[in-house]
Amino acid sequence: MTTINDLKHKGFSLVLSGGGALGMYYLGVFKFLEEKNIVPKEIIGTSIGAVLGSLWAQGFTSEEIIQKVTSILKSCGNSSQKFSKQFKKELLGMYLDTNKEFNIPFSALTLEYLTLEPKKFDFPSNHNLRDVILAATALPGKYEPVTIEGVSYVDAYSITNFPVEFASSNYILGIDVLSSCDLSKFRESKSLILSVKKNAFALYSRSLFRLIQKDSISKAKEYDCIHLSPKGSTHDLFRYSIIGERIEQGYNDMKDLFEG
């Protein structure tokens, strides 16, 4: 089993799950690793894990990413709904430098739209990073699939949200922001007209996320990785207004993990 001593002294894979706004937790993880001069052998991410993981792998510091993210949030008046759209536009459309060298090898997980087979895109490579990240965050039902070299791809969260199986190292630090979510807090509509539709969707969502949680926990045991998941998280995958709290929690959880 991977130990803290392994992470400090041996090359390890850093695996980042999907999880929307919960993924801001990763910025605290990056900040801690920077302070301790701990550099992973590779970074592998799904969805938001791919977005933030790719930035850090390219050499952007945690503070640079935090400043960019908080700047976007401020410009949106702390509105999570507006932030979600602007975040995608600025970070994926402008902030990602497709020609930038990678300080750390990076892989993004996507899902082939027709076959539902996971597809891993490795960097550095000749792939267009912007297209791959757009595909890795193309949430089915919300965004159109992204075509890369004639094949359509979407967000892989429903099949491999916690992609530890793609790690090349025997030592794995897996950060999984979805597994500890309290799914009982999905809001149910009180409107007589909308309740059937909205509550049915809430039930579907809870069921899907429960399956994702079970799969992630099972894989963490199978691959003997250090599995870090924030405690007390709610299902608010699109609540970006508490970014600071999530970053602080990520940093403190890492500190407890390594120094506790």
Interval 29-40: pLDDT, tens: 999 999 999 999
pTM of the model: 0.88
Spell out the residues 6+ positions from residue 196 whose beta carbon is closer than 8 angstroms to its own. Answer: none
Mean pLDDT of 212-224: 90
**Whole-number pLDDT of residue 162:** 96
Q: Are 106 and 42 in contact (CB under 8 A)?
A: yes
Interval 185-198: pLDDT, tens: 555 444 444 454 55
Q: Give the mean pLDDT of the chain.
A: 84
Q: Which residues pair with 112 in a beta bridge?
A: 153
Q: Are 69 and 22 in contact (CB under 8 A)?
A: no
Helix axis angle, 48-58 relative to 129-136, nearest 10°? Answer: 150
Q: Could you identify the residue written with the tokens 């997980």?
A: 109
Beta strand 151-155 with 146-148: parallel, antiparallel or unpaired? antiparallel
Q: How far apart are CA 136 and CA 112, in angstroms?
A: 10
Helix axis angle, 80-87 relative to 62-75, nearest 10°? Answer: 120
pLDDT at 46 over 70: yes
Q: How far apart are CA 218 and CA 18, in angstroms?
A: 16
Interval 91-139: pLDDT, tens: 765 556 666 789 999 999 999 999 999 999 999 888 889 899 999 999 8
Q: Residue 203 — very low, low, confident or very high, per pLDDT cuts 50/70/90?
A: low
**Whole-number pLDDT of residue 190:** 45
Instruction: Provide the token pair at 188.
Output: 């149910």
Alpha helices in the chain (DSSP H): 4-9, 25-35, 48-58, 62-75, 80-87, 129-136, 157-160, 195-222, 243-259
**Whole-number pLDDT of residue 81:** 67
Q: How many CB atoms lie within 10 A of CB 234?
A: 13
Spell out the residues 6+ positions from residue 62 whose beta carbon is closer than 8 angstroms to its own. Answer: 27, 28, 30, 31, 34, 56
Lowest mean pLDDT among 21-30, 86-95, 129-138, 166-175: 86-95
